[in-house]
């Protein structure tokens, strides 16, 4: 369990939403257990059952909830139930870590300013899916990853932090994805730490860190 020396009352309450492997969740768990993140992960929620991220949560005694989106007849009804489950945890921060759902405007509004997402591209490039393939097809020499606040615009909220990686001549989608993922595991815990330490906020659709507005692409890692 967490070896963080802060007691739970001084830790930010975090809910993590996943759909799959949960390697970003793992990076956040690891830093928390090493005492580098003043947070308590109060729940992991997955819209898919039997995914590796749920095993990771169980392994670290973090309560996990499966909310299968296929059992709902509309995007609205799923998001409403998800919102209720998240609200029941009274979280300070909601972390989307490979949560592969398009969210309704009502849901994103409800959590605006508290919800972060990680997206595997240098936003505003390549919103949506298949970002690594699209970077390769475009002949980009550079690719990367962005953590951003979630707003109602898909992958469109203000960037908090970006990390860049080179695209190599012999890269495949898989090799490029792996290089990007390594950077994800550095920048996501850092952004969560800034939130937990109340150093980061979204105001006027911009990101502010330590009271200074961040550039439009966010902090460059
Ligand atoms: C990560 O590469 C993340 O950036 C991406 O899904 C992967 C999840 O990996 N997210 C998106 O594409 C969101 N649009 P993980 O489950 O191992 O953390």
pLDDT digits (tens, 9 = 90+) for 107-163: 999 999 999 999 999 999 999 999 999 999 999 999 999 999 999 999 999 999 999
> Quick check: CB of 189 below 6 Å from ligand 1?
no
How many whole angstroms from 200 Cα to the centroid of ligand 1? Answer: 22
> Quick check: CB of 181 below 6 Å from ligand 1?
yes
DSSP secondary structure code for residue 181 in this structure:
H
The pLDDT-based confidence of 7 (bands split at 50, 70, 90) is confident
Pairing mode, strands 93-96 and 64-66: unpaired
Comparing CA positions, the residue from 185, 136, 145, 181 lying closest to residue 164 is 145
Task: Find the catalytic residue in 60, 119, 132, 219.
Answer: 119
Provide the 10 A C-beta neighbour count for residue 217. Answer: 16
> Quick check: CB of 146 below 6 Å from ligand 1?
no
**Distance between CA 139 and CA 101 in Å, rounded?**
28
Pocket perturbation via mutation, ligand 1, pick of 22, 120, 177 by most ligand atoms within 8 A of CB: 120
How far, rounded to the nearest angstrom, does the alpha carbon of residue 190 sit from its chain's CA centroid?
Answer: 11
DSSP secondary structure code for residue 71 in this structure:
G
pTM of the model: 0.96
pLDDT digits (tens, 9 = 90+) for 95-106: 999 999 999 999
Q: What is the CATH number of domain 118-146+157-221?
A: 3.40.50.170
Identical topology for domains 9-111 and 118-146+157-221:
yes
> In the numeric block, which tokens belong to residue 15?
């809910």
DSSP run (H or E) holding 159: strand 159-166
Q: What mean pLDDT value characterizes the chain? A: 96
How many whole angstroms from 97 Cα to the centroid of ligand 1? Answer: 6
How many whole angstroms from 9 Cα to the centroid of ligand 1? Answer: 30
Q: What is the CATH number of domain 9-111?
A: 3.40.50.170
Q: What is the mean pLDDT of residues 53-64?
A: 98
Domain boundaries, the chain: 9-111, 118-146+157-221
**Distance between CA 201 and CA 114 in Å, rounded?**
8
């Amino acid at each position: 369990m967490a070896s963080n020396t802060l007691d739970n009352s001084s830790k930010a309450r975090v809910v993590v939403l996943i759909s799959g492997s949960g390697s970003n969740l793992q990076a956040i768990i690891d830093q928390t257990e090493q005492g580098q993140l003043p947070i308590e992960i109060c729940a992991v929620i997955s819209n898919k059952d039997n995914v590796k991220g749920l095993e990771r949560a169980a392994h670290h005694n973090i309560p996990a909830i499966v909310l299968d989106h296929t059992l709902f007849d509309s995007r609205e009804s799923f998001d409403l139930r998800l919102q209720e489950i998240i609200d029941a945890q009274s979280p300070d921060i909601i972390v989307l870590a490979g949560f592969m759902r398009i969210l309704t405007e009502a849901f994103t509004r409800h959590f605006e300013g508290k919800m972060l997402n990680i997206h595997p591209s240098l936003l505003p490039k390549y919103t949506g899916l298949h970002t690594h393939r699209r970077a390769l097809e475009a002949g980009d020499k550079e690719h990367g990853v962005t953590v951003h606040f979630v707003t109602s615009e898909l992958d469109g909220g203000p960037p908090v932090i970006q990390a860049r990686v080179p695209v190599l001549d012999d890269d495949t989608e898989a090799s490029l994805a792996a290089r990007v993922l390594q950077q994800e595991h550095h920048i996501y815990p850092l952004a969560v730490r800034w939130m937990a330490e109340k150093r980061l906020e979204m105001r006027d659709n911009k990101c502010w860190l330590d009271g200074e507005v961040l550039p439009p692409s966010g902090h460059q890692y």
